[in-house]
């Protein structure tokens, strides 16, 4: 019997030491951040993907959001876990990953809008607990203290001016804070853009702007873009964000004409004048032909499309004539090049 037990143990492989139950707990949530708005503090964090023993965490199920409130003097209240809760904190949300709303999940990062009875001038401290499918709860996350300050109203008079491959934006600072008081603290701005009036807006400024203007470059000509701007206020350790302005739209335009055709020649054949030229540019949708008499002004008489670089002016009355050709691009503004050299022809 003893020999059988020994053989069974050998056959099953080496048995490792037992893992302490607490080491199977999820690691704490990390990178807590907050953005404040009117009646809201949006708290975000990165969900854990490993356990305390550094093994993969594949069954994260629930996130618990806790909050403490105080006047903002001194250190925030300590965050100590007791029986799966944070002692001295109020649990304000239980977020199940299967149905997270109103929380939003974007990859490993998660955000939750706290709208629960907030008051300007108070400090709110947030702590997150993560729970796996077996009910094991993580240690508390680092505390996130937030000084809740009034955000500004939206910036004023946003305007957009389209250029070639760019849009220039200008606006005025917000008039006041949402509580009616004058603006105070540091005011900066972030610009949002969408590829159309109905598409979702996304922030395009890499960092908040200290100026009330912005040029958005590298855009596609003849495509409509939609813009809005938000104001950010920083004061007393808090950071609040305004609502976005109403959208404005602009469509960048190609304003650069193609190069003119070159080496234009004219050959008379009876009452016809045959024209030929060399392309001056590759961005050409149409060639336009102009004719004038010996001393008159040029008038358009026809056109042709690439790859053709010839044109026949048929049935021309006897006399002396001058010809020029221009190139137009395919943009919505149909930019037209400068004229080619003049070519003369005399019809007998």
CATH superfamily to which 262-347 belongs:
Immunoglobulins (2.60.40.10)
CB atoms within 10 A of CB 224: 15
- Is residue 83 within 8 Å of residue 130, measured between CB atoms? no
Question: Per-residue pLDDT averaged across 119-133, rounded?
Answer: 96
- Percent of the chain at pLDDT exceeding 90: 84
Domains of the chain, residue spans: 23-147, 156-250, 262-347
C-alpha 273, offset from chain centre: 56
pLDDT, tens digit, 9 for 90 and up, residues 152-194: 999 999 999 999 999 999 999 999 999 999 998 999 999 999 9
pLDDT at 18 over 70: no
Strand partners, 267: 274
pLDDT of res. 108: 84
User: pTM for the full model?
Assistant: 0.72
pLDDT at 282 over 60: yes
Of 80, 15, 22, the residue nearest 51 (C-alpha): 22
Can you read off the two tokens belonging to residue 208? 């908040």
pLDDT of res. 8: 39
Which CATH architecture fits 23-147?
A: Sandwich (2.60)
Question: Per-residue pLDDT averaged across 310-322, rounded?
Answer: 96
Split at pLDDT 50, 70, 90, the class of 17 is low
Topology alike, domains 23-147 and 262-347: yes
pLDDT at 106 over 50: yes
Residue 166 class from Cβ within 10 Å (0-12 exposed, 13-18 middle, 19+ buried)? Answer: middle
Q: How far is Cα 89 from Cα 77, in angstroms, rounded to an integer? A: 8
pLDDT of res. 20: 67
Question: Per-residue pLDDT averaged across 124-142, rounded?
Answer: 96
Of 298, 284, 290, the residue nearest 327 (C-alpha): 284
Question: Per-residue pLDDT averaged across 113-131, rounded?
Answer: 95
pLDDT of res. 195: 94
> In this structure, what are the phi and psi dihedrals at residue 247, rounded to the nearest 5 degrees?
-70, 150
pLDDT at 11 over 60: no
Q: How far is Cα 285 from Cα 289, in angstroms, rounded to an integer? A: 14
pLDDT of res. 36: 93
pLDDT of res. 76: 94
pLDDT at 4 over 90: no
- Is residue 215 within 8 Å of residue 166, measured between CB atoms? yes
pLDDT at 10 over 50: no
pLDDT, tens digit, 9 for 90 and up, residues 228-265: 999 999 988 889 999 999 999 999 998 899 999 999 99
pLDDT at 2 over 50: no
Write the DSSP symbol of residue 274. E
Among 4-8, 200-204, 275-279, 307-311, the range scoring the smallest mean pLDDT is 4-8
What is the torsion angle, in degrees rounded to the nearest 10, for the CA atoms of residue 49, residue 52, residue 55 and residue 61?
-40
Split at pLDDT 50, 70, 90, the class of 13 is very low
Q: How far is Cα 143 from Cα 72, in angstroms, rounded to an integer? A: 14
Of the candidate CATH numbers 3.40.50.1820, 2.60.40.10, 3.40.50.2300, 2.40.30.20, the domain formed by 156-250 belongs to: 2.60.40.10
């Amino acid at each position: 019997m003893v020999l059988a037990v020994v053989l069974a143990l050998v056959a099953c492989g080496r048995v490792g030491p037992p893992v302490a139950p607490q080491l199977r707990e999820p690691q704490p949530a990390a990178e807590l951040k907050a953005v404040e708005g009117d009646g809201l503090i949006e708290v975000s964090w990165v969900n854990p993907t490993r356990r305390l023993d550094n093994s993969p965490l594949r069954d994260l199920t629930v996130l618990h959001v806790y909050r403490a409130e105080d006047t903002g003097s001194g250190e925030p209240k300590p965050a100590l876990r007791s029986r799966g809760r944070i002692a001295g904190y109020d649990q304000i949300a239980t977020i199940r990953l299967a149905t997270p709303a109103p929380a939003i999940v974007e990859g490993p990062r998660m955000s939750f809008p706290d709208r629960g009875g907030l008051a300007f001038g108070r400090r709110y401290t947030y702590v997150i607990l993560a729970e796996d499918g077996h009910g094991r709860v993580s240690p508390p996350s680092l505390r996130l203290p937030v000084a809740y300050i009034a955000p500004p109203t939206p910036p004023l008079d946003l305007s957009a001016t389209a250029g070639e491959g760019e849009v220039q934006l200008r606006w005025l600072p917000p008039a006041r804070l949402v509580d009616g008081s004058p603006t105070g603290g540091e005011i900066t701005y972030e610009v949002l853009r969408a590829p159309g009036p109905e598409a979702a807006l996304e922030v395009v400024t890499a960092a908040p702007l200290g100026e009330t203007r912005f040029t958005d470059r590298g855009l596609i000509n003849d495509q409509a873009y939609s813009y809005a701007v938000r104001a950010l206020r920083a004061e007393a350790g808090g950071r609040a964000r305004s609502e976005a302005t109403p959208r404005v739209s602009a469509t960048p335009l190609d304003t650069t004409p193609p190069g003119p055709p070159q080496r234009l020649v004219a050959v008379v054949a009876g009452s016809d004048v045959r024209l030929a030229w060399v392309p001056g540019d590759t961005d050409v949708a149409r060639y336009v032909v102009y004719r004038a008499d010996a001393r008159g002004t040029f008038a358009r008489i026809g056109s042709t499309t690439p790859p053709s670089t010839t044109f026949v002016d048929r049935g021309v009355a006897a006399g002396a004539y001058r010809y020029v050709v221009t190139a137009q691009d395919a943009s919505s503004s149909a930019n037209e090049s400068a004229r080619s050299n003049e070519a003369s022809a005399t019809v007998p």
